Structures are given as C-alpha cells and as structure tokens.
Amino acid sequence: MGRGRITGLAVSDVRFPTSLSRHGSDAMHPDPDYSAAYVTIETDAPDGLRGYGLTFTLGKGTEVVVSAVYVLAAHVVNKDLDEIIGDFRGFYRQLTSDGQLRWIGPEKGAVHLASAAILNAIWDLWAKQEGKPLWKLLVDMDPKQLLSCIDFRYITDALTEEEAYTILQNGLLGKKEREEQMLKCGYPAYTTSCAWLGYPDDQLKQLCSEALNNGWTRFKVKVGADLQDDMRRCRLVREMIGPENMLMLDANQRWEVDEAIDWVTKLAAFKPLWIEEPTSPDDILGHAKIAKALSPLGIGVATGEQCHNRVIFKQLLQARALSYVQVDSCRLGSVNENLSVLLMAKKFQIPVCPHAGGVGLCELVQHLIIFDYISVSGTLENRMCEYVDHLHEHFKYPVVIMNASYMPPQAAGYSTEMKEDSARKYQFPEGEVWQKLLSDHSATKIS
C-alpha cells in the first residue's frame, strides 16, 4: 500500500490571549497574542493518520496567513504523498515558487509562513507513517535521500550539494554514540520565561529564583526600550543568577546600527554572551558592523528568527555578521529549508541556537536541533536551544524538559498536534475564550 492521496486540507486561526499577562512582551512587541495558523491534512490511506502543521504568529495577521494557506492548498490536495516525498525538492519549489504567488514573496512573508505550516503538516504525517519522531526519521535517512528534500537554489555559492553530502557522510562517524547521549541526557536549553519586558521586578525575581531551583543556568533578558531600565533589570538578573551562570540579551530589532553598538557597550558590564536581533533582521551589513564592534567585548551577535529564508542566512554567514544562528521552525520553509541552514552553519563553523519563543516552536524545533547534533554538527560546544514555559499544555505531545535540557520526543510525528479541545476553545473568533473576551471588550467600550 502507498502512503495515500491527500484528500483534504483544513486550516484554523488559533490565538492564545497572552497579551493579558504580558507573556512574550519585548521592546518591539509589547502585547503579543501567541497564535498559529494550524493546518490539518488527511489522506485516503487506510491507516487514518493525519498530519498537523503550524506557523507561529502574534495575533493580528493570522487571518492573512490562513488565507494564504487556502490559496496554496491547490498545490497539495489530490497530490499523492509518495510523489511528494519522492521529489520533495521539486514539491518544495512548486509550493514556494508559484508563478503568481511568488510576486508577493518570493519565499518570504505571509505566503512563506503558510508554506511552512503546510510543509510541517506533511513532515508530521510522513514521520507518523514511518512510526518515528521526526528527529529520528531525519537521523535514519540516507544522506542522498535527505539532500533530495533540500532546494539548493541561490545558495550554491556558499554550499554545494556535494559539500553538503560530505558533511553528512562525515556525520556518520560517532552518530550512534551521539544519539545514545541525546536519549540519556537531552539537548541543553536556556530559558526566556523569566524576563519578558512587561514583567514587574517582583515577578522577574520570583521566576529567576524558581528557575535556579529547577537547575537552569542559562537566562535571556529582553532589552531595548529604555537604557537605564535595561541596566537596572540586567543588574537585577545578574545578581539573581550569579557570575557563573550565562546571560543573553534580546533587543528584538529595536535599534539603529550605531545605537545598538553604543547601547550594548553600556550593558557589557553584565557579561552577556550575545545580543540578539540588535537591528533590522534584513540588514546584513549592519549586523556585520555590530558584530565587529562588539567582538572585543566578548559579546556575539545572534539572529535568525525573522530571517525570511536560506538566502538571508547565507549572506549573514558569508559576511561573518552573526555568531549564533537562530533557525525558526515556522519562519523558514519547514524542515526542508532549515536543513539547508543547518548545513551552511556547519560549513561556516557557526553554532546553531534555535529560536523557540512561541506557541508550538519548542515542540517543533527540538527535533531539528537534536538532528543537527547527531548528524550534522556533532558537538554541543556553544550550543543551546531556547525554551519558554508557556502553552505546552495545549499540545498532545508537549516538550519534556529534564535538568534544563530537551529530552528527545518519543511519539511518532513532528509534535505539532494540538489537543482538539484547545484548538476549538481558542479558535478565533468562534472559540469560547475569544467570544467571551470580545464580548467583554465590546461591553467595556459601550459603557
């Protein structure tokens, strides 16, 4: 029996009102509602399995991504899943390079986010049909088959398919031992949950204390709105976590290039490992200037959660404009495009420390980074994966954290499946949570 023909694709707008408690707040996004365009695909295969995929958003605009998913569905429905997987590179290019839709991209923006959600669902279904968690599907894959999933267009000046094959072949040495290590110890993580910009000091102190008691040693602080307040909050966190633990900073694109250099120089006393997204995510030369200026201070530049595609990552790597690559499982074109960035990062010897600060992102990106360690990078030096403690209870297979590390998922699939009750309850605007919130808001405005 084959894998089946895709007979249906559905997408819903799922929003969690995190803005009410300032969860996720930063210098550029003071009131985010963690949300997702949530895709379900089904086939006519007798196994009855479904694939689930999502792309992360911040509330408003999710309806635009949902509309893009519906438009792209024509490339998916009635496709044979074996045909997709058998020519995944070709299907990826077809989906992301539609002759008319690419005009409002190409490979960026709402259409690319929609493509990621659909592709994430396909990978989830493939892994389920193989009876493996996604990371294991990738680890067990023959290098040539894995490379056949990647579109190398526009990046061959930085990484050829032949070079990528050599990297994967070299990664076979010690792979079994690294997999055993992951299963035993997990992948090291850092927490962003303690120091969202909207949190008052008492809450920040309490969360830092709890995290320390739970074994966390790596902490990230949101900065960028006010220098004096940043200095005060960084001092508070540094005093809480002590000199031996790790501190990172995240400005979420708030600054001009020279402003970033000046601002971070003033925060250097708190010994941050990196400054994340110091300026526009599209400014490769600006990042390079910042990286060069901050290098003597021992502060690296991290970026990637808003990088449109593999081409932006290619340029950042070529320009030596970043010290840490922050791939995102939903911003890039799903696993396919993330694989190309992991391989480029390996060639340029830049550590990958994924972005995971959103609904479902921890669930997804853990698979990518565990694969990266086992089959590509082969090292944990200067590497860690972001973790936030919000909203995992809404997923059927939530992340498992032990000793401040991601434990490899065991359930088949990509860990993308939400609980049905949660997806229904928080569907915008029909879900009961949003009906109540919108009703209360309307009543407040009338009174």
Rounded to the nearest 10 degrees, what angle do helices 284-294 and 257-267 cross at? 30
Give CA separation, 205 vs 10, 221, 239, in Å: 43, 12, 10
Q: How confident is the model at residue 445 (pLDDT cuts 50, 70, 90)?
A: very low
* Marked catalytic residue, from 346, 355, 390, 394: 355
Q: Tell me, what amino acid is at 200?
A: P
Mean pLDDT of all residues in 193-205? 92
Q: What is the pLDDT of residues 396-419, one digit of tens each?
A: 999 999 999 999 999 999 999 999
pLDDT at 357: 82
Closest CA to 395 of 432, 433, 430, 360: 360
pLDDT at 260 over 70: yes
pLDDT at 405: 98
pLDDT at 51: 98
pLDDT at 446: 38
Q: What's the predicted TM-score (pTM) here?
A: 0.97
Q: How confident is the model at residue 441 (pLDDT cuts 50, 70, 90)?
A: confident
Q: Is 393 exposed, middle or buried (0-12, 13-18, 19+ CB in 10 A)?
A: exposed
Rounded to the nearest 10 degrees, what angle do helices 109-130 and 62-72 cross at? 60
**Structure tokens belonging to residue 389:** 């403690």
Q: Is 100 exposed, middle or buried (0-12, 13-18, 19+ CB in 10 A)?
A: exposed
Q: What is the pLDDT of residues 281-294, one digit of tens each?
A: 999 999 999 999 99
Asked if 113 contacts 53 with a C-beta cutoff of 8 angstroms, the reply is: no
Nearest-angstrom CA–CA distance, 321 and 292: 8
Mean pLDDT of all residues in 338-361? 96
pLDDT at 440: 84
Q: What is the pLDDT of residues 351-398, one digit of tens each?
A: 999 999 889 999 999 999 999 999 999 999 999 999 999 999 999 999
pLDDT at 447 over 50: no
Spatial neighbors of 424 by CB under 8 A, at least 6 apart, are 431
Nearest-angstrom CA–CA distance, 248 and 254: 16
Q: What is the pLDDT of residues 121-131, one digit of tens each?
A: 999 999 999 99
Nearest-angstrom CA–CA distance, 63 and 374: 37
Which is higher by pLDDT, 159 or 24? 159
Q: Would residue 314 show up in a list of annotated catalytic residues for this protein? A: no
Nearest-angstrom CA–CA distance, 232 and 219: 16
What SS3 class is residue 2? Answer: coil
Spatial neighbors of 78 by CB under 8 A, at least 6 apart, are 5, 6, 7
Nearest-angstrom CA–CA distance, 133 and 110: 28
pLDDT at 1: 56
Q: Is 189 exposed, middle or buried (0-12, 13-18, 19+ CB in 10 A)?
A: buried
* Marked catalytic residue, from 128, 222, 308, 346: 222
Nearest-angstrom CA–CA distance, 32 and 66: 18
Percent of the chain with pLDDT over 70: 98
Q: Would residue 29 show up in a list of annotated catalytic residues for this protein? A: no
Nearest-angstrom CA–CA distance, 181 and 184: 5
Share the mean pLDDT of the chain: 96
